[in-house]
Protein backbone atom coordinates (compact mmCIF):
# COMPACT_ATOMS: atom_id res chain seq x y z
CA UNK A 1 0.00 0.00 0.00
CA UNK A 2 1.29 3.46 -0.88
CA UNK A 3 1.92 5.92 1.93
CA UNK A 4 -0.60 8.76 1.95
CA UNK A 5 1.27 12.07 1.84
CA UNK A 6 -0.75 15.11 2.95
CA UNK A 7 0.85 18.32 1.69
CA UNK A 8 -0.20 21.47 3.59
CA UNK A 9 0.40 24.81 1.86
CA UNK A 10 -0.81 28.41 1.71
CA UNK A 11 -1.64 29.48 5.24
CA UNK A 12 -2.84 32.48 7.23
CA UNK A 13 0.45 34.31 6.84
CA UNK A 14 2.04 37.15 4.91
CA UNK A 15 4.33 34.44 3.47
CA UNK A 16 1.34 32.78 1.77
CA UNK A 17 2.75 33.26 -1.75
CA UNK A 18 6.14 31.83 -0.76
CA UNK A 19 4.38 28.70 0.48
CA UNK A 20 2.54 28.30 -2.83
CA UNK A 21 5.80 28.50 -4.79
CA UNK A 22 7.36 25.92 -2.52
CA UNK A 23 4.34 23.61 -2.88
CA UNK A 24 4.44 23.64 -6.68
CA UNK A 25 8.08 22.57 -6.71
CA UNK A 26 7.62 19.90 -4.03
CA UNK A 27 4.53 18.39 -5.70
CA UNK A 28 6.41 18.12 -8.99
CA UNK A 29 9.19 16.16 -7.28
CA UNK A 30 7.23 13.54 -5.31
CA UNK A 31 7.52 9.93 -6.43
CA UNK A 32 3.91 8.95 -7.11
CA UNK A 33 4.99 5.31 -7.28
CA UNK A 34 5.64 5.45 -3.52
CA UNK A 35 3.25 8.13 -2.30
CA UNK A 36 -0.44 8.85 -2.77
CA UNK A 37 -0.52 12.64 -2.63
CA UNK A 38 -3.34 14.66 -1.03
CA UNK A 39 -2.84 18.45 -1.36
CA UNK A 40 -4.48 20.57 1.36
CA UNK A 41 -4.77 24.31 0.78
CA UNK A 42 -5.11 26.70 3.73
CA UNK A 43 -6.57 30.07 2.74
CA UNK A 44 -5.40 33.45 3.96
CA UNK A 45 -8.33 33.34 6.41
CA UNK A 46 -7.21 30.01 7.85
CA UNK A 47 -9.82 27.85 6.09
CA UNK A 48 -8.79 24.33 5.07
CA UNK A 49 -9.82 22.85 1.73
CA UNK A 50 -8.51 20.67 -1.08
CA UNK A 51 -8.28 20.95 -4.86
CA UNK A 52 -8.45 17.13 -5.10
CA UNK A 53 -5.96 14.95 -6.93
CA UNK A 54 -3.61 17.04 -9.07
CA UNK A 55 -1.64 16.02 -12.10
CA UNK A 56 2.00 17.10 -12.25
CA UNK A 57 1.55 18.05 -15.89
CA UNK A 58 0.92 21.78 -16.16
CA UNK A 59 0.80 22.20 -12.38
CA UNK A 60 0.85 25.90 -11.43
CA UNK A 61 0.31 28.07 -8.37
CA UNK A 62 -3.14 28.98 -9.70
CA UNK A 63 -4.20 25.33 -9.80
CA UNK A 64 -3.24 24.89 -6.15
CA UNK A 65 -5.73 27.52 -5.00
CA UNK A 66 -9.28 26.39 -4.36
CA UNK A 67 -12.40 27.65 -2.58
CA UNK A 68 -13.39 26.19 0.79
CA UNK A 69 -16.70 24.43 1.30
CA UNK A 70 -17.07 25.96 4.77
CA UNK A 71 -16.33 29.50 5.92
CA UNK A 72 -15.68 28.61 9.54
CA UNK A 73 -12.15 27.40 10.38
CA UNK A 74 -13.36 24.73 12.81
CA UNK A 75 -15.76 23.21 10.27
CA UNK A 76 -13.25 23.36 7.43
CA UNK A 77 -10.52 21.69 9.51
CA UNK A 78 -12.98 19.12 10.80
CA UNK A 79 -14.05 18.27 7.25
CA UNK A 80 -10.45 17.62 6.17
CA UNK A 81 -9.57 15.64 9.30
CA UNK A 82 -12.68 13.47 9.34
CA UNK A 83 -12.57 12.84 5.61
CA UNK A 84 -9.25 12.94 3.86
CA UNK A 85 -6.88 12.46 6.80
CA UNK A 86 -8.95 9.66 8.34
CA UNK A 87 -8.31 7.37 5.38
CA UNK A 88 -6.78 4.00 6.37
CA UNK A 89 -3.19 3.05 5.76
CA UNK A 90 0.23 4.57 6.47
CA UNK A 91 0.34 8.37 6.31
CA UNK A 92 2.69 11.31 6.75
CA UNK A 93 2.13 15.08 6.64
CA UNK A 94 4.38 17.50 4.80
CA UNK A 95 3.74 21.05 6.12
CA UNK A 96 4.97 23.67 3.63
CA UNK A 97 3.63 26.60 5.64
CA UNK A 98 6.01 29.53 6.01
CA UNK A 99 5.69 32.04 8.83
CA UNK A 100 2.87 32.44 11.36
CA UNK A 101 0.10 29.87 11.78
CA UNK A 102 2.19 27.10 10.27
CA UNK A 103 5.90 27.41 10.97
CA UNK A 104 5.42 28.52 14.58
CA UNK A 105 4.32 25.29 16.27
CA UNK A 106 0.57 25.80 15.85
CA UNK A 107 0.02 23.24 13.09
CA UNK A 108 2.70 21.02 14.61
CA UNK A 109 0.67 20.91 17.84
CA UNK A 110 -2.42 19.80 15.91
CA UNK A 111 -0.44 17.07 14.16
CA UNK A 112 0.95 15.88 17.51
CA UNK A 113 -2.60 15.55 18.83
CA UNK A 114 -3.53 13.55 15.73
CA UNK A 115 -0.47 11.33 16.36
CA UNK A 116 0.62 11.35 12.73
CA UNK A 117 4.21 11.65 11.50
CA UNK A 118 5.07 15.02 9.96
CA UNK A 119 8.10 16.49 8.27
CA UNK A 120 10.14 19.14 9.99
CA UNK A 121 10.51 20.57 13.44
CA UNK A 122 8.31 19.89 16.43
CA UNK A 123 6.21 22.28 18.50
CA UNK A 124 8.95 23.78 20.67
CA UNK A 125 11.69 24.08 18.06
CA UNK A 126 9.24 25.56 15.53
CA UNK A 127 8.08 28.18 18.03
CA UNK A 128 11.61 29.01 19.17
CA UNK A 129 13.14 29.40 15.73
CA UNK A 130 10.33 31.58 14.37
CA UNK A 131 10.45 33.92 17.39
CA UNK A 132 13.72 35.79 16.81
CA UNK A 133 13.70 37.27 20.32
CA UNK A 134 13.44 33.87 22.01
CA UNK A 135 15.90 32.33 19.56
CA UNK A 136 18.51 34.94 20.44
CA UNK A 137 18.18 34.05 24.12
CA UNK A 138 18.77 30.39 23.27
CA UNK A 139 21.82 31.30 21.16
CA UNK A 140 23.21 33.48 23.96
CA UNK A 141 22.83 30.65 26.48
CA UNK A 142 24.62 28.31 24.06
CA UNK A 143 27.50 30.80 23.86
CA UNK A 144 27.08 31.48 20.15
CA UNK A 145 28.29 34.89 19.00
CA UNK A 146 25.65 37.25 17.58
CA UNK A 147 25.31 40.96 16.88
CA UNK A 148 24.08 43.44 19.49
CA UNK A 149 20.29 43.53 19.71
CA UNK A 150 17.37 44.57 21.83
CA UNK A 151 13.74 43.52 21.99
CA UNK A 152 10.99 46.11 21.74
CA UNK A 153 7.40 45.28 22.73
CA UNK A 154 4.36 47.18 21.54
CA UNK A 155 3.32 48.25 25.04
CA UNK A 156 6.71 49.91 25.59
CA UNK A 157 6.38 51.73 22.28
CA UNK A 158 2.81 52.82 22.94
CA UNK A 159 3.75 54.10 26.38
CA UNK A 160 6.81 56.18 25.41
CA UNK A 161 7.98 56.28 21.77
CA UNK A 162 10.70 58.84 22.47
CA UNK A 163 12.26 56.68 25.20
CA UNK A 164 12.40 53.66 22.88
CA UNK A 165 14.06 55.70 20.12
CA UNK A 166 16.67 57.09 22.53
CA UNK A 167 17.38 53.65 23.93
CA UNK A 168 17.95 52.17 20.46
CA UNK A 169 20.23 55.05 19.45
CA UNK A 170 22.27 54.75 22.66
CA UNK A 171 22.61 50.96 22.73
CA UNK A 172 22.42 49.86 19.08
CA UNK A 173 23.11 52.93 16.95
CA UNK A 174 22.96 53.27 13.15
CA UNK A 175 22.74 51.54 10.77
CA UNK A 176 20.37 49.08 12.41
CA UNK A 177 17.65 46.67 11.37
CA UNK A 178 14.13 46.53 12.73
CA UNK A 179 12.55 43.08 12.42
CA UNK A 180 9.15 41.66 13.39
CA UNK A 181 10.03 38.91 15.86
CA UNK A 182 8.01 36.16 14.20
CA UNK A 183 8.24 36.55 10.44
CA UNK A 184 10.54 35.32 7.69
CA UNK A 185 11.39 36.14 4.05
CA UNK A 186 12.57 39.63 5.18
CA UNK A 187 8.94 40.82 5.34
CA UNK A 188 8.43 43.89 7.51
CA UNK A 189 12.18 44.42 8.00
CA UNK A 190 13.63 47.91 7.71
CA UNK A 191 17.22 49.11 7.45
CA UNK A 192 17.50 52.38 9.36
CA UNK A 193 20.28 54.95 9.09
CA UNK A 194 18.69 57.81 11.07
CA UNK A 195 15.86 58.55 13.49
CA UNK A 196 13.24 59.19 10.79
CA UNK A 197 13.82 55.78 9.24
CA UNK A 198 13.87 54.16 12.66
CA UNK A 199 10.51 55.71 13.53
CA UNK A 200 9.00 54.51 10.24
CA UNK A 201 10.59 51.08 10.55
CA UNK A 202 9.26 50.50 14.06
CA UNK A 203 5.77 51.55 13.06
CA UNK A 204 5.83 49.24 10.05
CA UNK A 205 7.24 46.37 12.12
CA UNK A 206 4.42 46.65 14.64
CA UNK A 207 1.87 46.27 11.84
CA UNK A 208 3.14 42.67 11.46
CA UNK A 209 3.93 41.71 15.05
CA UNK A 210 3.63 42.97 18.62
CA UNK A 211 7.27 42.25 19.35
CA UNK A 212 10.30 43.52 17.42
CA UNK A 213 14.00 42.72 17.38
CA UNK A 214 16.31 45.65 16.63
CA UNK A 215 19.87 44.72 15.65
CA UNK A 216 23.12 46.48 14.89
CA UNK A 217 24.17 46.05 11.26
CA UNK A 218 27.09 43.77 10.48
CA UNK A 219 28.96 44.98 7.41
CA UNK A 220 29.98 41.82 5.63
CA UNK A 221 28.86 38.65 3.88
CA UNK A 222 25.85 36.46 4.67
CA UNK A 223 26.77 32.76 4.76
CA UNK A 224 24.14 30.02 4.91
CA UNK A 225 24.29 26.36 5.95
CA UNK A 226 21.68 23.62 5.48
CA UNK A 227 21.21 21.20 8.36
CA UNK A 228 19.42 17.86 8.01
CA UNK A 229 18.55 15.08 10.45
CA UNK A 230 17.22 14.20 13.90
CA UNK A 231 19.54 12.97 16.66
CA UNK A 232 22.65 13.01 14.45
CA UNK A 233 22.23 16.02 12.17
CA UNK A 234 24.51 16.81 9.25
CA UNK A 235 25.53 20.23 7.97
CA UNK A 236 26.03 21.02 4.29
CA UNK A 237 28.84 23.00 2.75
CA UNK A 238 28.23 26.72 3.35
CA UNK A 239 26.84 28.86 0.55
CA UNK A 240 26.07 32.48 -0.18
CA UNK A 241 24.11 34.56 -2.65
CA UNK A 242 26.22 36.93 -4.73
CA UNK A 243 24.41 40.25 -5.04
CA UNK A 244 24.94 43.99 -4.78
CA UNK A 245 22.00 44.86 -2.50
CA UNK A 246 22.74 46.76 0.70
CA UNK A 247 19.66 45.14 2.23
CA UNK A 248 18.64 41.68 0.99
CA UNK A 249 14.87 42.26 1.26
CA UNK A 250 11.85 40.25 -0.01
CA UNK A 251 12.04 41.66 -3.55
CA UNK A 252 15.77 41.00 -3.72
CA UNK A 253 15.37 37.39 -2.57
CA UNK A 254 12.47 36.38 -4.79
CA UNK A 255 12.41 38.73 -7.78
CA UNK A 256 16.02 39.59 -8.65
CA UNK A 257 16.93 37.38 -11.62
CA UNK A 258 20.61 38.40 -11.33
CA UNK A 259 21.18 36.48 -8.09
CA UNK A 260 23.80 33.77 -8.26
CA UNK A 261 24.77 31.16 -5.68
CA UNK A 262 28.31 30.47 -4.61
CA UNK A 263 28.41 26.94 -3.17
CA UNK A 264 30.70 26.21 -1.50
CA UNK A 265 31.27 29.77 -0.36
CA UNK A 266 34.86 30.95 -0.72
CA UNK A 267 36.12 31.02 2.86
CA UNK A 268 39.45 31.09 4.66
CA UNK A 269 41.04 27.80 5.73
CA UNK A 270 39.27 26.27 8.71
CA UNK A 271 36.28 28.62 8.57
CA UNK A 272 34.10 26.24 6.55
CA UNK A 273 34.35 23.54 9.20
CA UNK A 274 33.83 26.06 12.00
CA UNK A 275 30.62 27.34 10.39
CA UNK A 276 29.30 23.79 9.92
CA UNK A 277 30.01 22.98 13.56
CA UNK A 278 28.29 26.15 14.79
CA UNK A 279 25.27 25.42 12.59
CA UNK A 280 24.84 22.01 14.22
CA UNK A 281 25.37 23.53 17.69
CA UNK A 282 22.60 26.08 17.03
CA UNK A 283 20.35 23.36 15.58
CA UNK A 284 20.71 21.21 18.67
CA UNK A 285 20.35 24.17 21.06
CA UNK A 286 16.90 24.84 19.57
CA UNK A 287 15.94 21.15 19.69
CA UNK A 288 15.53 21.05 15.91
CA UNK A 289 14.63 17.88 14.02
CA UNK A 290 14.20 17.29 10.31
CA UNK A 291 15.70 20.40 8.80
CA UNK A 292 16.74 24.01 9.24
CA UNK A 293 18.89 26.60 7.52
CA UNK A 294 21.34 28.50 9.70
CA UNK A 295 22.46 31.97 8.56
CA UNK A 296 25.66 33.75 9.58
CA UNK A 297 27.28 37.13 9.00
CA UNK A 298 31.01 37.25 8.32
CA UNK A 299 32.51 40.72 8.71
CA UNK A 300 35.61 42.16 7.07
CA UNK A 301 37.77 41.29 10.11
CA UNK A 302 36.77 37.63 9.84
CA UNK A 303 34.45 37.70 12.87
CA UNK A 304 31.45 35.38 12.63
CA UNK A 305 27.96 36.28 13.90
CA UNK A 306 24.99 33.89 13.85
CA UNK A 307 22.10 35.83 12.32
CA UNK A 308 19.15 33.45 12.59
CA UNK A 309 17.94 29.89 12.19
CA UNK A 310 15.10 29.14 9.79
CA UNK A 311 13.11 25.95 10.53
CA UNK A 312 11.36 25.88 7.15
CA UNK A 313 13.62 27.56 4.58
CA UNK A 314 12.59 28.29 1.02
CA UNK A 315 12.33 25.04 -0.90
CA UNK A 316 12.02 25.82 -4.59
CA UNK A 317 14.54 24.56 -7.15
CA UNK A 318 16.27 27.94 -6.85
CA UNK A 319 16.34 28.06 -3.05
CA UNK A 320 19.63 27.77 -1.25
CA UNK A 321 18.71 24.84 1.04
CA UNK A 322 18.18 22.08 -1.57
CA UNK A 323 20.99 23.35 -3.80
CA UNK A 324 23.47 23.28 -0.90
CA UNK A 325 22.73 19.58 -0.37
CA UNK A 326 23.01 18.80 -4.07
CA UNK A 327 26.45 20.40 -4.15
CA UNK A 328 27.54 18.87 -0.84
CA UNK A 329 26.81 15.20 -1.46
CA UNK A 330 24.87 14.96 -4.72
CA UNK A 331 21.43 14.61 -3.08
CA UNK A 332 18.80 15.52 -5.68
CA UNK A 333 15.70 17.53 -4.86
CA UNK A 334 13.39 14.50 -4.91
CA UNK A 335 15.87 12.46 -2.84
CA UNK A 336 15.98 15.27 -0.28
CA UNK A 337 12.19 15.21 0.06
CA UNK A 338 12.29 11.46 0.64
CA UNK A 339 15.04 11.83 3.25
CA UNK A 340 12.91 14.39 5.11
CA UNK A 341 9.91 12.06 5.01
CA UNK A 342 12.13 9.25 6.30
CA UNK A 343 13.29 11.40 9.24
CA UNK A 344 9.64 12.25 10.03
CA UNK A 345 8.62 8.58 10.13
CA UNK A 346 11.69 7.66 12.19
CA UNK A 347 10.95 10.33 14.78
CA UNK A 348 7.28 9.34 14.97
CA UNK A 349 8.17 5.67 15.41
CA UNK A 350 10.56 6.52 18.25
CA UNK A 351 7.85 8.55 20.00
CA UNK A 352 5.50 5.57 20.04
CA UNK A 353 7.71 3.96 22.69
CA UNK A 354 6.88 6.74 25.18
CA UNK A 355 4.66 5.52 28.03
CA UNK A 356 1.70 7.67 29.12
CA UNK A 357 0.43 5.50 31.99
CA UNK A 358 2.04 4.19 35.17
Domain for residue 135, yes or no? no
In a domain, 356, yes or no: no
Q: Are residues 206 and 269 in the same domain?
A: no
| Residues 180 and 269 occupy one common structural domain | no
Which pLDDT tens digit goes with each residue over 180-218? 998 765 788 999 999 999 999 999 999 999 999 999 999
**Domain co-membership, 224 together with 346:** yes
pLDDT in tens, 322-355: 999 999 999 999 999 999 999 999 999 999 999 8
Q: How far apart are CA 6 and CA 28, in angstroms?
A: 14
Domain interval for residue 35: 3-118
84 domain residue, yes or no: yes
Q: What is the number of structural domains in the chain?
A: 3
pLDDT grade for 177, boundaries at 50, 70 and 90:
very high
262 and 315 together in one domain: yes
According to the annotation, is 295 in a ligand binding site?
Answer: yes
**Same structural domain, 269 and 208:** no
Residue 191 forms part of a structural domain: yes
The last residue of a domain, from among 216, 236, 270:
216
Q: Check whether 79 is labelled as a binding-site residue.
A: no
The answer as to whether 137 is a domain residue is no
Kindly state whether residues 111 and 198 are assigned to the same domain: no
134 domain residue, yes or no: no
Alpha helices by DSSP H, the chain: 16-29, 61-64, 73-82, 106-114, 123-130, 132-141, 154-159, 161-171, 195-205, 250-255, 271-285, 320-329, 333-351
- CATH number of the domain enclosing 266: 3.30.470.20
- What residues are labeled active site? 15, 185, 319
Residue 90 lies in a domain: yes
Residue 308 labelled as part of a binding site: yes
pLDDT of 255 higher than 80: no
CATH of the domain at 209: 3.30.1490.20
Angle between helices 195-205 and 161-171 (to 10 degrees): 120
195 located within any domain: yes
The residue from 216, 239, 254 where one domain ends is 216
Amino acid sequence: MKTKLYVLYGGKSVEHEVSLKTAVTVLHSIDEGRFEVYPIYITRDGLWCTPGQLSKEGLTVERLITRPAFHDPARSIGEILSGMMALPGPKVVLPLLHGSNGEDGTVQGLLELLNVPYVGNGVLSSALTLDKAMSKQVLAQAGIHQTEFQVCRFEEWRTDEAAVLRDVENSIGYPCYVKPASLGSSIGISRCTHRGELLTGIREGFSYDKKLVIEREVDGREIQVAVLGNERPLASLPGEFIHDHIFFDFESKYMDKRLTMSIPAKLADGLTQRIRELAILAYRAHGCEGLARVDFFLDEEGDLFLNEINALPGFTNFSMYPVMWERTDGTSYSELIEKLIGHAIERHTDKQTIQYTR
